Amino acid sequence: MTEAQGLLQELQQIQNTALETLKAVQDETGLQAWRSANLGRNAPVMRIFSRLGEVPKEERPLVGQQANQVKQAIETAYNEYETRLHEAALQNSLARDRIDVTLPGRQPYHGRLHPSTQTLRRIYHIFAEMGFQIYLSSDVETDEYNFELLNMPAHHPARDMWDTFHTTREGVLLRTHTSPGQIRVMREYAPDPIRVILPGMCYRYEQISARSEIQFNQVEVLAVGRGITFSEFKGTLIDFARRMYGENVRTRLRPSYFPFTEPSAEMDIECFVCGGKGCNICKGSGWLEIMGCGMVHPVVLQNGGYDPAEFTGFAAGMGPERITILRHRIEDIRHFWANDIRFLEQF
């Protein structure tokens, strides 16, 4: 028997053995093992190709052709068996996971608005009904707009009321309050009367605790025009409190100090947890502070482009997170930014 005849017989035996062992394969793992054994780099049929040099030149084409045919036969058998396995797995899956179309459908899960967003939208709605428009300003401000034009020149002691995040660029910072927007909106619309709210995120370099965060929402309220009085300012805020907390809510204004308003005040509402009797929510005072406010300082009016001899105005700043805390008796402000689904699902 020549070398070529021996290889041809060996090829036939390799094909027969491969097809016979394929019948015993039961799953995908076994099929991949069979493929590696019969079509891998060290498979018997692949070793035949490396032995073609042992065959005389005139007989090599015959042996090479037969080796390719055996390799193709094994590959075809593998592909067909793989298809059958996949089809069988699909049929088993359909039988196992059959759908009963007579069952009632599942209620889709609906997302919810963040509690801060809910409060912000309520504030927007209330002031829209009162004739105010929304004005947006940038989170990144200059020292000039954040402090100087608001009646706080360099080294003014009132700057210590706001712990500031400064950037690497001199004179540029993250706004500590929404009040810089007062100057921007006044300069844009002066000398026309304005009535706007300015919502946005503020940033302060503070120790994070249950009562304070380094970032929080704030809504600035601003009205400028001829003949605006303190009584109109007070009436607007009382009307807001009643729309937000209910018609029977009691309010009060306490004297305070802000460099950009004169006179300045803080507005309280009667504690709705204890009804003014005193509790841990209101720290025994019976009152809850909801905003700082006052008549716009003449210097700020002038910096905004209005003549303080002709124009007056009022401004207020409130925190939606604080309002939400009071409305829902939330004990820790850090819940607003923790993204804890257990907290968010309650709203």
Domain boundaries, the chain: 3-96, 115-344
Q: Are 267 and 289 in contact (CB under 8 A)?
A: yes
Residue-level pLDDT at 246? 86
Identify the CATH number of the domain defined by range 115-344.
3.30.930.10
For the entire predicted model, the pTM comes to: 0.66
Q: pLDDT tens for residues 284-315?
A: 788 888 899 999 999 999 999 999 999 999 99
Q: pLDDT tens-digit profile of 170-209?
A: 999 999 999 999 999 999 999 999 999 999 999 988 888 7
Q: What is the pLDDT of residues 226-281, one digit of tens each?
A: 999 999 999 999 999 999 888 888 899 999 999 999 999 999 988 776 777 777 66
Task: State the Cα–Cα distance between residues 78 and 22, nearest whole angstrom.
Answer: 8
- Residues in Cβ contact with 286 at an 8 Å cutoff, skipping those fewer than 6 apart: 270, 271, 274, 276, 277, 278
Are 222 and 196 within 8 A, CB to CB? Answer: yes
Query: In sequence order, what E strands does the chain have?
Result: 133-134, 140-142, 165-166, 172-174, 194-203, 215-225, 251-258, 261-270, 287-296, 312-318
Q: Which of 158, 101, 130, 83 is nearest to 243 (CA)?
A: 130
Q: Tell me how far the alpha carbon of residue 257 is from its chain's centroid.
A: 36
Of 213 and 307, the structure prediction assigns the larger pLDDT to 307
pLDDT at 95 over 70: no
pLDDT at 126: 96
